[in-house]
């Protein structure tokens, strides 16, 4: 017989696996999705700083595509994006379109 769940829990509720938050994918919570318009992007990385999860990927100091596994569609990146000459580099679109 399988041991009851409470017997299988690590003592003291210690989380023994580092970085396990990455397993917690919030992408399914999204009703709006950000769209990155690369030609308006000045690489200020405000979107990376402001993203409350980890959906803005950065490589060699430059941002890349969104990782939608972690995007809840909160829109902070789009709001904070300064864009270029008045044109936003991130805009929110309805999910599923």
Partner 1 sequence: MGKIFAVTGNEAVAEALRQINPDVCAAYPITPATDLMQRFSGFISDGKVDTEMVLVESEHSAMSACIGAAAAGGRVATATSSQGLALMWEMLFIAAGDRLPIVMPVVNRALSAPLNIHGDHSDSMGARDSGWIQLYSETAQEAYDNAIQAFRIAEHLDIRLPAMVCMDGFIVSHSIERVEYLEDADVKNFVGKYKQVNPLLDLDNPKSYGPLILTDLYHEYKRAQHEVMTKVKNVVLEVAADFEKMTGRKYGLFETYRLEDAEIAIVILSSAAGTTKDIIDEYRDKGIKAGLLKPRMFRPFPFEEVADALKHLKAIAVLDRADSFGGYGPLFSEICGAVMSMNKKPPMINKIYGLGGRDYMPNQAEKVLDELVEIANTGKVNIIKEYIGVRE
Q: Which two tokens stand for residue 84?
A: 């270029």
Q: How far is the CB of 1 from partner 1 (least distance, A)?
A: 17
CA–CA separation, 35 vs 12, rounded Å? 43
In three-state secondary structure terms, 36 is: strand
| From candidates 17, 39, 60, 94, binder to partner 1 by CB under 8 A | 17
Q: How far is the CB of 26 from partner 1 (least distance, A)?
A: 15
Nearer to partner 1, 17 or 94 (CB): 17
**Residue 79 Ramachandran class (φ > 0 left, ψ -120 to 50 alpha, else beta):** alpha
| From candidates 1, 2, 11, 85, binder to partner 1 by CB under 8 A | 11
């Amino acid at each position: 017989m399988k041991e009851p769940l409470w017997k299988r829990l690590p003592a003291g509720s210690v989380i023994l696996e580092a970085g396990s938050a990455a397993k917690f994918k919030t992408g399914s919570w999204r009703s709006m999705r950000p769209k990155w318009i690369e030609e308006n992007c000045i690489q200020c990385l405000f979107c990376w700083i402001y993203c409350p999860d980890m959906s803005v990927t950065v490589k060699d100091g430059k941002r890349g595509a969104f990782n939608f596994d972690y995007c809840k569609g909160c829109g902070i990146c789009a709001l904070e994006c300064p864009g270029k000459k008045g044109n936003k580099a991130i805009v929110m679109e309805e999910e599923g379109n």
